[in-house]
């Protein structure tokens, strides 16, 4: 098969991908919205943005935005949009675009993060014009939570139930009287200095610094002048401590969550740190100086694929002789792998976590 044929085949497969159940429920509610004046739509898809493509078909000429907080999911949606040959705008940012919209669509996963969904519901309401509609849906036939959130925002909510779950449609009648903040400020100490960072819903360990990160900060020595890479930086506490210790070296904090990058940048400014750069990235293609140390606290979900991505990216960014530090409770999975150009230098157990040090081959 030629490259062009492969590309056509991939596009064909993408175009046939079904929507996730909650997004399918939201799409099913579209016929109940009798508003031909819709000019701008905003979708928060848990999948590839199929609801946005359906809105483009229903409202030819309307501006349709498909929003993501995660750059990896955003890239998947962009590939889907390319396969559909649509004009849907794929946006990855910390917050919903600051535009006035006529229609907002929020499909909610039944096991999704409650605080993130509250945040998105509030932002959705704020973006809607008076008279605009919000469509929300959840793949839970026993739902009460999402309905309660909708009823707290809207005077009247139209409900539709199927075997798969519920969809809700409501019209905005007035502006919010009180806007709630879901952000948090976190203080911690590194080498006797009080530092602060920030977190928001959807970020790992929202409102806290997890114990694995504290182990990493306490146990890994960062020499002055070292260039340091942290993959999956979250709120940036580990990277901030590394920047403080490195002093003259460059520290890179990488995450695929746009809110993580926003919070790290805010922390850099608040702590007056000048040698830390936050990078939004999911594909491992990083423009950084050769690093002496890489710090990894990978998540436990994703069938180990995220851990593999972290280590491969770290190895590519390390100078020969540089170290990759991994904090984990799944050491056996790492021992089963053969990491190219890396060998295990040491493993030690601290507070229930294993701290693995891999060294890159070469001088």
Q: What is the pLDDT of residue 34?
A: 84
Q: Which two tokens stand for residue 125?
A: 């309401």
Question: Among 97, 108, 101, 99, which residue's Cα sits nearest to residue 23?
Answer: 108
Question: Among 22, 10, 232, 17, which residue's Cα sits nearest to residue 112?
Answer: 22
**DSSP secondary structure code for residue 31 in this structure:** G
Q: What is the pLDDT of residue 362?
A: 85
> pLDDT (tens digit, 9 = 90+) per residue, 284-309?
999 999 999 999 999 988 889 999 99
The torsion defined by the Cα of 322, 318, 346 and 243, in degrees rounded to 10, comes to 80
CATH code of 184-360, in short, is 3.40.50.150
Helix 71-84 / helix 50-58 crossing angle, nearest 10 deg: 40
The pLDDT mean for the chain works out to 95
Q: What is the number of other CB atoms lying within 10 angstroms of the CB of residue 363?
A: 5
229/38 Cα distance (integer angstroms): 46
Are 224 and 160 in contact by the 8 Å Cβ rule? The answer is: no
Question: Among 33, 44, 31, 201, which residue's Cα sits nearest to residue 107?
Answer: 44
Question: Among 239, 279, 275, 288, which residue's Cα sits nearest to residue 261?
Answer: 279
Which segment of 77-86, 107-116, 163-172, 177-186 scores lowest on mean pLDDT?
A: 77-86
| Identical topology for domains 3-171 and 184-360 | yes
> pLDDT (tens digit, 9 = 90+) per residue, 136-151?
999 999 999 999 999 9
What is the rounded average pLDDT of the residues 226-243? Answer: 99
Residues linked to residue 43 through DSSP beta bridges, in sequence order: 66, 105
Q: What is the pLDDT of residue 14?
A: 58
pLDDT grade, residue 10 (50/70/90)?
A: low
**DSSP secondary structure code for residue 211 in this structure:** H
Q: What is the pLDDT of residue 256?
A: 98
Cβ within 8 Å of residue 306, ≥6 positions away: 232, 298, 299
Cβ-count burial of 165 within 10 angstroms (0-12 exposed, 13-18 middle, 19+ buried)?
Answer: buried
pLDDT at position 354 over 80: yes
Question: Among 350, 312, 361, which residue's Cα sits nearest to residue 328?
Answer: 350
Q: What is the pLDDT of residue 1?
A: 46
> pLDDT (tens digit, 9 = 90+) per residue, 253-280?
999 999 999 999 999 999 999 999 999 9
pLDDT grade, residue 8 (50/70/90)?
A: very low
Share above pLDDT 70 across residues of the chain, in percent, rounded to a whole number: 96
Superfamily classification of domain 3-171:
Vaccinia Virus protein VP39 (3.40.50.150)
Q: Domain boundaries in the chain?
A: 3-171, 184-360
What is the rounded average pLDDT of the residues 227-253? Answer: 99
Cβ within 8 Å of residue 238, ≥6 positions away: 213, 216, 217, 230, 295, 297
Q: What is the pLDDT of residue 296?
A: 99
Rg of the chain on CA atoms, in Å: 23
Q: What is the pLDDT of residue 240?
A: 99
> pLDDT (tens digit, 9 = 90+) per residue, 208-218?
999 999 999 99
Are 62 and 88 in contact by the 8 Å Cβ rule? The answer is: no
> pLDDT (tens digit, 9 = 90+) per residue, 23-64?
999 999 999 998 889 999 999 999 999 999 999 999 999 999
Q: What is the pLDDT of residue 103?
A: 99
Residues linked to residue 68 through DSSP beta bridges, in sequence order: 92
Which residue has tokens 């909708």?
Answer: 150
Residues linked to residue 70 through DSSP beta bridges, in sequence order: 257
99/40 Cα distance (integer angstroms): 9
Residues linked to residue 229 through DSSP beta bridges, in sequence order: 252, 294
142/149 Cα distance (integer angstroms): 15
pLDDT grade, residue 16 (50/70/90)?
A: confident
Share above pLDDT 90 across residues of the chain, in percent, rounded to a whole number: 92
Residues linked to residue 167 through DSSP beta bridges, in sequence order: 137, 160
Look at strands 101-108 and 40-43 and give their pairing: parallel
> pLDDT (tens digit, 9 = 90+) per residue, 59-82?
999 999 999 999 999 999 999 999
């Amino acid at each position: 098969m030629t490259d062009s044929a492969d590309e056509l085949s991939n596009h064909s497969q993408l175009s046939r991908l079904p929507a996730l159940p909650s997004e399918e429920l939201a799409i099913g509610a579209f016929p109940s919205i009798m508003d031909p004046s819709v000019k701008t739509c905003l979708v928060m898809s848990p999948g590839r943005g199929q609801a946005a493509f359906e809105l483009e078909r229903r409202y030819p000429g309307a501006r349709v935005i498909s929003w993501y907080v995660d750059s990896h999911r955003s890239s998947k949606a962009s590939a889907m949009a390319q396969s559909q040959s649509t004009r849907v705008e794929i946006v990855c940012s910390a917050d919903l675009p600051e535009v006035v919209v006529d229609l907002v669509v929020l499909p909610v996963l039944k096991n999704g993060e409650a605080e993130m969904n509250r945040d998105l519901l509030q932002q959705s309401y704020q973006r809607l014009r008076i008279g605009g509609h919000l469509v929300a849906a959840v793949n839970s036939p026993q739902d009460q939570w999402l309905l309660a959130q909708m009823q707290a925002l809207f005077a009247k909510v139209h409900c539709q139930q199927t075997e798969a779950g519920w969809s809700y449609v409501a019209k905005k009648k007035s502006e919010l009287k009180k806007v709630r903040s879901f952000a948090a400020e976190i203080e911690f100490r590194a080498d006797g200095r009080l530092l602060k960072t920030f977190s928001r819903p959807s970020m790992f360990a929202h409102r806290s610094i997890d114990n694995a990160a504290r182990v990493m900060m306490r146990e890994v020595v960062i020499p002055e002048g070292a260039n340091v890479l942290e993959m999956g930086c979250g709120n940036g506490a580990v990277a901030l401590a590394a920047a403080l210790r490195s002093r003259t070296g460059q520290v890179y904090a990488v995450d695929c969550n746009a809110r993580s990058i926003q919070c790290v940048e805010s922390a850099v400014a608040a702590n007056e740190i000048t040698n830390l750069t936050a990078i939004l990235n999911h594909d491992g293609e990083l423009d950084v100086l050769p690093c002496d140390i890489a710090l990894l606290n990978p998540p436990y979900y994703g069938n180990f694929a995220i851990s593999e991505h972290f280590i491969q990216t770290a190895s590519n960014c390390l100078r020969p002789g540089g170290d990759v530090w991994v904090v984990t409770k799944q050491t056996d999975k790492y021992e089963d792998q053969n990491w190219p150009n890396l060998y295990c230098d040491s493993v030690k157990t601290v507070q229930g976590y294993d701290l693995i040090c891999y060294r890159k081959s070469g001088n």
